Amino acid sequence: MADKVKETAELAEIHKGDVQGMDDYVVSKVSIILDPSSPIRYKGFAFLPEAYGPVMAVELLPGATPRSRRKPCSAASPVSG
């Protein structure tokens, strides 16, 4: 496990300036390595691994705003509509 985390950090250094070097990506990938059964988290969006297909289908609907670009909501401001 430690080797995979180290490899992720090394790849982030190599891909600095690319998506794979961004903090959000690295944190998401390390979270998956540390707890593979937990929800995948990326830029305020979380879903279980088995829901990946349906999540991608909804995200790719015409006219949909990808969740990774939406403003995160807090418990004090519930999601509307």
At 53-68, the pLDDT tens digits run 888 888 888 877 766 5
Q: Which two tokens stand for residue 24?
A: 């959000």
Residues 67 and 71: their CA atoms lie apart, in Å, by 8
| Average pLDDT across the chain, whole number | 77
Q: What is the mean pLDDT of residues 11-20?
A: 78
DSSP tag of 20: G
Give the residues across from 41 on adjacent strands: 46
**SS3 state of residue 80:** coil
Beta strands in the chain (DSSP E): 40-42, 45-47
> Taking a C-beta distance cutoff of 8 angstroms, is the pair 36, 49 a contact?
yes
What is the predicted pLDDT for the residue at 42?
A: 82
